[in-house]
């Protein structure tokens, strides 16, 4: 169950390959913390600046609050670039991630960027306060939310970061996923994890998605195309409104993959490239109007950053050595990524409820019983 007590995909009887960790969440990777700030207010006609509001912020701390500034190996991949994830050029340059990750709506990226900088200066004032490149990602919630209303502020972002914790993770319409739709149903935040046996060691891989993609007709659950058979209102066929909805399949998906296995930056990038395999298992073919952007990181080497300004004399003790997974064993992590992504997307749909937003725009929850009946046939 989620931290809110709602049933998840496994709780309603869906079975997935692989063995999850105790929380079946990205927080099964030791040190990773997730926080939310959810904004739900108002109803009726859109009044820019007043609402209705259906949005929020998700914060992911790769090493938790205590490990802020300590780098993780990292890599990222874009399946389709109709979206934004800041900080990725620096990740390309050095193969490291040492800052919190935030995910919100498309027009809140700037506020997230500012909020992260303010928060780092507040809680860790001695760590790179004059030079920060936050990782801020987005998906579009303008169908349900007053996206131009400026409701996500740096203060909201700071509260999301302050709330980050380990343990069970809330899913569905929470944080940055509050106003999102997925496969023509209410989408949002979802997570899952896998345990990976490697000789005498067991590693953990966790995934978090902000799911806001896919057309109803594409939805596939455990290999069965069910979208066209689920007869519930389609949010892309709502009554007339001041501006049209996005095309079916649009909206974007952000995925974050974390692991405690010792991976190089190149191997992290390879994990990020496997996220589309998990998305495809749920039916999507990758819409041109969807920004599909993925980031993977490894917490294995806990060390001080070497990307800050150097001081003193050069010493041979500065040379680093790292463990790294053999490339010919990476299939274990590729399959775990694909399976965890599939389950995280379905969790984002199943742990959810109907939502009505701006101008009466309606997003129905995925009907559990109807889905199970179809899967029995």
Q: pLDDT tens, 286-307?
A: 999 999 999 999 999 888 777 7
Helix, strand, coil % over all residues of the chain, rounded to 5:
30, 25, 45
Answer yes or no: is 207 within a domain: yes
Answer yes or no: is 238 within a domain: yes
Q: Tens digit of pLDDT for each residue in 240-270?
A: 555 556 677 888 999 999 999 999 999 999 9
Per DSSP (E only), the strands in 62-198 are: 72-81, 96-97, 101-105, 135-139, 181-182, 185-186, 188-198
pLDDT of residue 240: 52
Answer yes or no: is 231 within a domain: yes
Q: What is the CATH number of the domain that holds 90?
A: 3.60.70.12
Q: Report the share of the chain in percent with pLDDT over 90.
A: 83
How many Cα atoms occupy the beta-carbon half-sphere of 164 within 13 Å? 28
Q: Give 343 or 234, the one with higher predicted confidence.
A: 343
What's the angle, vertex CA 264, arms to CA 259 and CA 269, rounded to 5?
A: 75
Report the predicted TM-score, pTM, of the whole model to 2 decimal places. Answer: 0.95
Mean of pLDDT values over 355-376: 96
348 is known as an active-site residue? no
Mean of pLDDT values over 13-20: 97
Of 290, 335, 348, 363, the catalytic one is 290
Q: Which of these, 59, 124, 141, 201, lies nearest to 358 by C-alpha position?
A: 141
- Torsion angle, CA of 121/126/130/134, rounded to 10 degrees? -60
Mean of pLDDT values over 303-329: 79
Mean of pLDDT values over 353-373: 96
Of 166, 252, 264, 363, the catalytic one is 252
166 is known as an active-site residue? no
Answer yes or no: is 283 within a domain: yes
Lowest mean pLDDT among 25-34, 57-66, 121-130: 121-130
Of 28, 141, 146, 292, the catalytic one is 292
Answer yes or no: is 5 within a domain: no
3-state secondary structure of 296: strand
Q: Tens digit of pLDDT for each residue in 196-228?
A: 999 999 999 999 999 999 999 999 999 999 999
User: CA-to-CA distance for 233 and 370, rounded, in angstroms?
Assistant: 14
pLDDT of residue 171: 98
Domain with 242, as residue range(s), is: 10-304+324-376
Answer yes or no: is 319 within a domain: no
290 is known as an active-site residue? yes
Q: Tens digit of pLDDT for each residue in 139-178?
A: 999 999 999 999 999 999 999 999 999 999 999 999 999 9
Number of domains in the chain: 1
Answer yes or no: is 317 within a domain: no
Answer yes or no: is 314 within a domain: no
Mean of pLDDT values over 29-40: 98
């Amino acid at each position: 169950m989620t931290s809110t007590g709602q049933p998840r995909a496994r709780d309603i009887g869906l079975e997935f390959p692989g063995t999850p960790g105790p929380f079946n969440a990205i927080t099964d990777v030791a040190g990773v913390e997730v926080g939310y700030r959810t904004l739900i207010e108002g109803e009726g006609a859109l009044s820019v600046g007043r609402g209705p509001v259906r949005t929020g912020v998700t914060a992911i701390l790769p090493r938790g609050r205590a490990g802020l500034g300590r780098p993780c190996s990292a890599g990222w991949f874009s399946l389709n670039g109709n979206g934004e994830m800041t900080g990725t050029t620096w990740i390309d340059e050095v193969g490291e991630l040492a800052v919190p990750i935030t995910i919100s709506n498309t027009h809140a990226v700037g506020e997230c960027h500012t909020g992260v900088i303010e928060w780092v200066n507040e809680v860790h004032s001695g760590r790179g306060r004059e030079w920060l490149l936050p990782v801020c990602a987005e998906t579009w919630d303008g169908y349900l939310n007053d996206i131009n209303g400026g409701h996500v502020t740096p203060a909201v972002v700071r509260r999301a970061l302050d709330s980050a914790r380990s343990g069970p993770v809330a899913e569905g319409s929470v944080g940055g996923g509050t106003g999102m739709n997925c496969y023509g149903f209410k989408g949002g935040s979802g997570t899952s994890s896998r345990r990976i046996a490697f000789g005498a060691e067991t590693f953990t891989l966790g995934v978090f998605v902000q799911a806001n993609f896919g057309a109803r007709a594409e939805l596939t659950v455990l290999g069965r195309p069910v979208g066209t058979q689920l007869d519930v209102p389609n949010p892309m066929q709502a009554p007339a409104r001041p501006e049209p909805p996005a095309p079916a399949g649009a909206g974007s998906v952000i995925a974050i993959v974390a692991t405690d296995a010792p991976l190089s930056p190149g191997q992290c990038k390879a994990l990020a490239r496997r996220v589309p395999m998990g998305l495809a298992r749920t039916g999507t073919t990758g819409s041109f109007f969807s920004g599909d952007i993925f980031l993977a990181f490894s917490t294995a080497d806990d060390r001080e950053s070497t990307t800050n300004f150097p001081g003193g004399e050069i010493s041979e003790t500065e040379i680093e050595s790292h463990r790294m997974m053999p490339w010919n064993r990476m299939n274990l992590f590729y399959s775990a990524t694909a399976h965890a992504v599939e389950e995280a997307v379905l969790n984002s749909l199943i742990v959810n409820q109907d939502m009505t937003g701006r101008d009466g725009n309606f997003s129905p929850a995925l009907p559990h019983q109807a889905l199970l009946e179809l899967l029995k046939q």
